[in-house]
Structure 1
């Protein structure tokens, strides 16, 4: 059976021959391509998944270190989710959300609201994280237009942030390589400093760094004017920025400034939601904040079906209902809003999380963090950081300067290549390796993952020394 499944991963799908790799090179445009290879590129071909493992087209079994893309939270090949997908598709595969609705979407909205902090009690569904953030921002614009404040539209974001790939959501991104060759709505966005303790100025205490971030936020509001700023959008943990965990108390203090200045606080939980930190949402249960909106996607269906959404405060909706413009229309929606199959899968996924996966994550996360931390023994590693089942290994040329630029810029890819050979897929980010495995991972599997990562980093150190790139 295994041989047959491996064959299916590369079998011909086009008359005249050619396996999936060749077909990709001829016809498939990959996401985030370089101009020199766009439309002519093939990437690692994955044939199947099972639990925390995936199998590539050569038959090599790999630990799925990134859980797909932060999303396969309950693991691959969960029959419960596959069955629900089939059953719902056979009952109702689609309905137009413009003038009809379906039962799974209403039940899921109720259950999501039950886990959300504060008065976040209403859900608008999207197809993923980018469209969820886009929806939150368009809602902010609509909200302020209805309330007679058309000038209150600017958005505060931060360095290191990642919020999506649609035009407005991508405009918030704070990683330079995301915007080097792309346009954005720069006139609407103000970027603040990343809350990255590892990159704080040398000699500055953590408390002083936190004060600096808060005062920068407060000064920006005062300088620009609260009457012009509509929203702050922030990830509780900056995921694609390198698993940046903010200093204690920082998010709560930012929340207070937003509340005092009538600035909507949008907590982007596309990554941290649905179990990644051991709770359905991290905003309240981990960081003690009650945002005005929470965006979610990825883990809501464990990646089995594209679904995302925004949870919106009852207060905001009540203010709209009381406004002098009852006929004002929120002219926003998607063909696949409230998709019945996606919502049915999300309901079963939430069952699995509530039954055992959240508790397991809370139990195993401290061990995951402790084992990853042992990698700081390696001289190439500047810092290991993380929370829940999110972790990042940041490599530096030397620990005193924390300079990553003297290293080969593809050091993360070098480590990933070695780890792939050894049986682990990691998420390389220039000089960093990010790990966010399926939440069902066991202690023994964590040991395997960390042992492979240690060997992959060690082999990379040998490569860099041999090539004269690094002398550590």
Structure 2
């Protein structure tokens, strides 16, 4: 681990780095005016659940990087596993008739962890490419079984499934739909977001569930079941705002899929590898046996890029039917990269050895309990949390659930105050989202909640003084 002394941080020329960043580095989700005026928070080091900027300021990273630093950062044994693999085999061609030992071992391990007959693994470079692969696999499967018309897919409004052209089109988060971008619209359809807090006024959760299921089946029937190939769903919608669906939602949507020969794709890029206290959440928490699971992020705890598309024996038997001479002409140069696979194997070993799933059950329940103490504060409309996925939604009026004007950027206002106090949360317009490392402690949960509490109260007071918040 790097020694985080004043001498370490003194090496960084902060003005030069900021100027170089602004001049040359285009970030993901780059906000041009803001970056031009304010620059970025330049990170120099990390240890456990904390990260440090170039000035040596420490922040409790309640975002977990990007939903991914599950085992915590700066682990020496992970660095050693990566270094050992680099020395042994830094790269190997992943195509056709070549395989590397580490990728084989990882695929075997993933098959053992995945539910049911999800025994086959296509390794990718991250979550977006895992979902992209799932879509192509579905096309290949439907053509292989003689159903070339069965290509339409259904996802949900407010969903996030990746940032490639295809996966951003499958997802449908309003904030991601920049008007300067184009999106695929042919054969991609969306149904309602299963957001209980935003259900139609006067509708019970049970009635809302019935509405969602009926809407989904109606969509399949209106398109024609013979034309609908798959349904894409995150167990809990992550970037869409930690949307926890009504109880029984996934099981009933899965039953509709079964009835109409529609593949169920569970996008577990965020929810897998411990974030909800399980390696995979679909079957254990939501009672669903998917046909395909996509995963990434916590697969390596962010140490190296890697994703996976894990699929069923039923799909494998169709696409690999003997004597057909088929070739799955899809792959990436860095699929099954041996160093990334080594980091995944070490990551899984650490999760199992340190019993982090049980720890998440404990500390996650504590986070759920403590965050609910914020529900009565001004600005707070909804608090939702399941284990280590959490969100606070801010509203201008608690009774009507009316939002602040988007230009106010209420989530960013609160995030900026938190950052100044040494806490990082993720602002998404009206939301603050959290997904801390699985290793987080009860004391760190208290730090998150109390810091957020003070920032919410200070922001509410500021908005009241300026006449932008009526206080109800």
Correspondences of 1:348-367 after superposition (within 5 Å): 348-355=346-353, 356-367=355-366
TM-score w.r.t. structure 2 length?
0.96
Cα shift at 1:421: 0.9
Q: Secondary structure at the match of 1:392?
A: strand
Correspondence for 1:27 among 15, 24, 46: 24
Q: Secondary structure at the match of 1:164?
A: coil
Matched residue, 1:440 = 439
Matched residue, 2:142 = 144
Correspondence for 1:43 among 40, 43, 47: 40
CA contact (8 A) 1:48 1:56 kept: yes
Matched residue, 1:15 = none
Cα shift at 1:180: 3.0
CA contact (8 A) 1:29 1:38 kept: no
CA contact (8 A) 1:52 1:75 kept: yes
CA contact (8 A) 1:128 1:308 kept: yes
Matched residue, 2:90 = 93
Correspondences of 1:31-430 after superposition (within 5 Å): 31-34=28-31, 36=33, 42-98=39-95, 99-181=97-179, 182-322=181-321, 326-355=324-353, 356-406=355-405, 409-430=408-429
CA contact (8 A) 2:232 2:267 kept: yes
Structure-2 separation of matches of 1:97 and 1:421: 45
> More displaced, 421-430 or 312-321?
312-321
Q: Secondary structure at the match of 1:22?
A: helix
RMSD: 1.6
Q: Secondary structure at the match of 2:444?
A: helix
Structure-1 separation of matches of 2:113 and 2:357: 13
CA contact (8 A) 1:27 1:39 kept: no
Q: Secondary structure at the match of 2:432?
A: strand
Q: Report the CA distance shift for 1:295/1:85 in structure 2 as closer, same or farther (over 3 A).
A: same
Cα shift at 1:257: 1.0
Cα shift at 1:408: 5.4
Structure-2 separation of matches of 1:383 and 1:105: 43
Cα shift at 1:38: 7.5
Cα shift at 1:36: 4.6
Structure-1 separation of matches of 2:235 and 2:53: 33
Matched residue, 1:5 = 8
Correspondences of 1:452-467 after superposition (within 5 Å): 452-467=451-466
Cα shift at 1:357: 1.2
Structure-2 separation of matches of 1:161 and 1:329: 32
Q: Secondary structure at the match of 1:169?
A: helix
CA contact (8 A) 1:29 1:40 kept: no
Q: Secondary structure at the match of 2:186?
A: helix
CA contact (8 A) 1:428 1:434 kept: yes
Q: Secondary structure at the match of 2:408?
A: coil
Q: Report the CA distance shift for 1:345/1:407 in structure 2 as closer, same or farther (over 3 A).
A: closer
Q: Deviations over 1:319-364 (max 9, x none)?
A: 22337x7222211000000000010110010011112211111121
Structure 1: give runs of 5+ residues left out of the alignment: 13-17
Q: Report the CA distance shift for 1:41/1:445 in structure 2 as closer, same or farther (over 3 A).
A: closer
Q: Deviations over 1:141-187 (max 9, x none)?
A: 11111112111111101011000111111101221121132211111
CA contact (8 A) 1:5 1:47 kept: no
Q: Report the CA distance shift for 1:406/1:177 in structure 2 as closer, same or farther (over 3 A).
A: closer
Structure 2: give runs of 5+ residues left out of the alignment: none
CA contact (8 A) 1:26 1:40 kept: no
Q: Report the CA distance shift for 1:429/1:192 in structure 2 as closer, same or farther (over 3 A).
A: same
Cα shift at 1:42: 3.0
CA contact (8 A) 1:277 1:389 kept: yes
Q: Deviations over 1:112-166 (max 9, x none)?
A: 1111112101110000000000000000011111112111111101011000111
CA contact (8 A) 2:404 2:410 kept: no
Q: Report the CA distance shift for 1:408/1:451 in structure 2 as closer, same or farther (over 3 A).
A: farther
Structure-2 separation of matches of 1:124 and 1:423: 40
> More displaced, 325-334 or 339-348?
325-334
Cα shift at 1:56: 1.4
CA contact (8 A) 1:397 1:407 kept: no
CA contact (8 A) 2:378 2:456 kept: no
Q: Secondary structure at the match of 1:212?
A: helix
